[in-house]
Amino acid sequence: MILLFVSLFSFSVNSNAKSITLGWAAWDPANALQELTKEFTAETGIEVNFEFVPWPNFADRMLNELNNKGKTFDLLIGDSQWIGAGAVYGHYVKLNDFFDKEGISMSDFSPATVYAYSTWPKGSKNYYALPAMGDALAWAYRKDWFDRPELRSEFKKKHGYDLGVPANWNQLHDMCSFFQGREIDGQKRYGAAINTERGSEGITMGVTAAMYAWGMEYENPNKPYDMEGYFNSPQAVEAVEFYRKLYEDCAPPGHSDAYMVANLDAYKSGQVAFQMNWYAFWPGVSKEDSDGRVSGFFANPKQNVAAATLGGQGISVVKYSDKQDLALEYIKWFARPDVQQKWWDLGGYSCHNDVLNSPSFPTSTVYAQGFLDSMGIVKDFWQEPTFVELMLPMQEAIHDYVVNGKGTAKGALDKIIEEWVEVFEADGKL
């Protein structure tokens, strides 16, 4: 009996020693990763425990953990904006030596994802993450409604062009407002479920989709952190005004604090013709529409330039982990092209060139081409270590203008710059 107890105990100790914990957001791709990781465990005997945190609390939970030098996570799939803080404050292990030793080359991954998810300072050769989940903000639309002859002819009569994938934001507005309040199959429908969330990053991710398309730059390319005339340029102001117009004319009633799940719900329940969301959700939308009749997908429309808001994450080893060797083993396995192909097949968005450049990739799903197009035009929010301090004033000012209808777009952008200057000054950047 004692022997049995001892052997059971030692087994449990061993199994604990050969286990790691991975932290990520709670969403569809995380479930796909969990499925994929079973193969890693089968190959290596290393158990991987997962802790998935709901999106609204994701940043709070993970950044608190890192700031407290917590050992809960060995691996973290953190948002692209965290890379600056991860590197500067020493939360993430620098992976250059490991990549060199294991023959993992960053040139095997899509350049946009390496730049966004792995490097700090941006564009340098210092790598703190392996691109794990490519993502960008895109659009889904009700193809089945678009295919109805009576709606098509009514739209063409009204606007003089065909109802279809919008070529720019003006067309997007035309189409969204066309569906606003329209009765289809006995139900009242609305135009578009767009990002309006106030608490974390929602409305910023939404409005920047428009601002990037209008050609907004955060700063003077020749003078870092000089934002006057760039972030509040006439184009940027016009984009913010347009986003408010889109919200006022096309959002369903009560869509005043909505982000990923709320947009998805509004779309799935048949309330809206369009939804703005991350590519990460398209496998789920597509799965319920096996013959592709109901939903179509497209990359963020251009206005003055082609651009899309970057999402996605890299996978990093947490500096405070006692099991860095096991965590690195996971990264080594995850970087393998065959694993990356399975990752895509399961619904994850691989950033590996072998997957993305495969001739069959663009037709592998209905949204694959859009994903490829988007990843070539992505732009991200500040990735500075102080990105949360930069995000919060933008959330407040944009929500105040777009949802609350308070003030002017120029006033909101000026106010944001004012707050950002204060943040950069406190950080010694200005």
For CA atoms 393, 397, 402, 404, give the dihedral sign: positive
Beta-bridge partners for 139: 276, 298
**Which residue's CB is nearer to other proteins, number 45 or number 90?**
90
DSSP for residue 290: T
Alpha helices in 89-136 (DSSP H): 96-102, 111-117
Q: Total binding residues for other proteins by CB under 8 A?
A: 32
Residue 23 CB, nearest distance to other proteins (Å)? 17
Among 164, 199, 215, 337, binds other proteins (CB under 8 A): 199
Compare residues 79 and 365 and give the one whose CB is closer to other proteins: 79
CA distance 243 to 238: 9
Region binding other proteins by CB under 8 A among candidate stretches 116-124, 153-161, 220-228, 253-261 = 253-261
Residues numbered 80 to 119 that lie near other proteins (CB under 8 A) are 85, 89-90
Q: What is the C-alpha separation between 51 and 31, in angstroms, rounded?
A: 11
Nearer to other proteins, 303 or 383 (CB): 383
Question: Residue 400 interacts with other proteins (CB under 8 A)?
Answer: yes
Q: Which of 185, 254, 290, 363 binds other proteins (CB under 8 A)?
A: 254
- Please report whether residue 406 would count as binding other proteins according to CB under 8 A: yes
User: CA–CA separation, 313 vs 323, rounded Å?
Assistant: 21
The C-alpha atoms of residue 191 and residue 186 are separated, in whole angstroms, by 16
**Residue 352 CB, nearest approach to other proteins (Å):** 33
From 142, 143, 173, 255, residue interacting with other proteins (rule: CB under 8 A): 255
46: number of Cβ within 10 Å = 19
**Closest distance between other proteins and the C-beta of residue 60, in Å?**
7
Which of residues 305 and 426 has its CB atom nearest to other proteins in the complex? 426
Stretch touching other proteins by CB under 8 A, among 109-117, 254-262, 273-281, 329-337: 254-262
- In this structure, what token pair is assigned to residue 279? 């590519």
Query: CA 40, CA 339: separation in Å to the nearest integer?
Result: 9
Rounded CA gap, 133 and 135, in Å? 6
Q: How far is the CB of 259 from other proteins (least distance, A)?
A: 10
Question: Using CB under 8 A, which of 87, 399, 416, 417 touches other proteins?
Answer: 399
Q: Please, which of residues 45-64 interact with other proteins by CB under 8 A?
A: 60, 63-64
Instruction: Give the range of 20-28, 92-100, 156-164, 401-409 binding other proteins by CB under 8 A.
Output: 401-409
**Tokens for 285?**
């939308």
Torsion of the alpha carbons at 22, 344, 313 and 131, rounded to the nearest 10: 100
Buried b (16+ CB within 10 A) or exposed e, 278-303: bbbbbbebbeeeeeeebbbbbbbbbb
What are phi and psi for residue 119, nearest 5 degrees?
-100, 145
Which residues would be at the binding site for other proteins (CB under 8 A)? Answer: 60, 63-64, 67, 69, 85, 89-90, 197-199, 252-257, 271, 385, 388-389, 392, 396-397, 399-401, 403-406, 426
